[in-house]
Amino acid sequence: MQHGVHPHVRDVSRASYDAGGPKSIRKLINYYNLVLIMNNCNVKLGLKGHVYDNGYSILKNKGLAIVWMSVGNSYFKKEVIDNLIKCVNDKFSKIRILIPNEPAEHTYKALGYDVKTAKKKARLNSNRMKNHTQRAIDSLSKKSDFKIIDWDVDIIPKEEYKKSLIFVKDLYDNNADFRKDARETTEEVLKGKIKETVKMDKAIDAGVKYLIEELAFVIASPNLFKVKNTAYVYHREWPIFEKLVNGVYDSEPKKSLGFLLIK
């Protein structure tokens, strides 16, 4: 599932453009957007709310950045990964990268794959992205403190994560607004992608587990990494996370968490 629940960016290349028709124009626009992303690294400034204020503070102090690359998200091409690694290397002292296959298994199951196939696809795609990412890190002449996180070892067994997972699951079960947003965000990703034999409600039941696990990790991240604050870095807005950190659902802002949009 892409960034928990973020829509795919269509995979297009310059060679795919054929003159004539709206579809070709959209492809050309997507191509030039990709070129722009690959050649620029700008933090979007002026966004309001605690989650962004804290993100800007962490950026100013060159703190710890979290980069979550969603397994199966076509946005994360090799060129994008290379540029992203260079970008965060310049802006942060510590970078923790997550490309976990375990949460992604929920997405593949939601799309209609059986358990064995879901595990295989998640593992292979995760390994491919990790290899690209490690090569990008190795190519840097001067490196910040990078680490590609092992979900099985560094996250799942940790009490900080387990406690956070209980919190998010409880919020999903008992807070109608959060549950609604979680399911709608998951549906946005799955729409048009699930197999014809799979009903959307059932797909959402499976796919939303990815989002729950991702949010639980981010909430726990300052304690997991033994820092005061962490900044989640991504290329597009993530409304449910912003609302969660700003305290919209439970009236308790998460003061140790920040968010940054890097375009």
pLDDT tens figures, 47-65? 999 999 999 999 999 999 9
Output 119 or 26, whichever has higher pLDDT.
119
Tell me what pLDDT residue 73 has: 86
Answer whether 0.75 is exceeded by the pTM: yes
Domains of the chain: 14-261 (3.40.50.11710)
Residue 118 has pLDDT above 60, yes or no: yes
Least confident residue range of 35-49, 92-106, 132-146: 35-49
Tell me what pLDDT residue 209 has: 97
* Closest listed residue to residue 1, CA positions, set 132, 118, 162, 157: 118
Phi, psi dihedrals of residue 99, rounded to the nearest 5°: -135, 55
Per-residue pLDDT tens over the stretch 61-91: 999 999 999 998 888 999 999 999 999 999 9
The length of the chain, given as a count of residues: 263
Average pLDDT taken over every residue of the chain: 88
The single-letter code of the amino acid at 1 is M
The single-letter code of the amino acid at 183 is R
Residue 35 has pLDDT above 70, yes or no: no
Q: Look up residue 255 and give its two tokens.
A: 């003061």
Residue 31: pLDDT band (50, 70, 90) is: very low
Question: What share of the chain has pLDDT > 90, as a percent?
Answer: 78
β-bridge pairing 230-234 and 64-68: parallel
- Asked if 109 and 65 touch (Cβ cutoff 8 Å), the reply is no
Residue 5: pLDDT band (50, 70, 90) is: very low
